[in-house]
Amino acid sequence: MLFGIDPVEMVLIIVIAVVLFGPEKMPEYSRKAARLFVYLRGIANNTQKSLRDQLGPEYADLELADLNPRTFIKKHLSQEVAAIEEAKREIEEMKRQLEDAAKAAEHEVDDAKQAAEAALDAKAEKVPHLVAAPFDDEAT
């Protein structure tokens, strides 16, 4: 595909050009179009070289396609994005570990609570039950 044009579309364009300009003028126009294409490609290459020179050595691998913001960001920030993704994975792993540790601590607290209640119940059985003296409102 040249310039995003399918082969069928290219044939259709050529047929229309032959009908519009005639077969005798087509070679002349195709040479002019080829010269224009080479000229525009030269301008693009010079612009690309100028950008590389002005931006410095860190952009020595700059391509014109890199001027697309998505491509530029993807190319130059991919390492940072990878580092952020790695940090995100580490944080998720730490969160999971902390949740597991919290659950284990809750189980230990519950076990200790049950043991303490059992110990208190055992002590309460050994101590005789004391009955409180009746309270008299008028005695005071």
Same domain, 14 and 37: yes
Of residues 140 and 136, more confidence is placed in 136
pLDDT(25) > 80: yes
99 occurs within a structural domain: yes
> What's the burial of 39, exposed, middle or buried (CB within 10 Å: 0-12/13-18/19+)?
exposed
- Does residue 112 share a domain with residue 63? no
pTM: 0.38
Binned at pLDDT 50, 70 and 90, residue 127 comes out as: low
The contacts found for 48-56 with CB under 8 angstroms, 24 or more apart, are none
Instruction: Give Cα separations from 65 to 72, 75, 113 (angstroms).
Output: 8, 11, 67
Are residue 81 and residue 60 in the same domain, yes or no? Answer: no
pLDDT of residue 29: 84
pLDDT band for position 86 (cuts 50, 70, 90): very high
Q: How many domains does the chain have?
A: 2
* Residue 62 CB burial class (10 angstroms; 0-12, 13-18, ≥19): middle
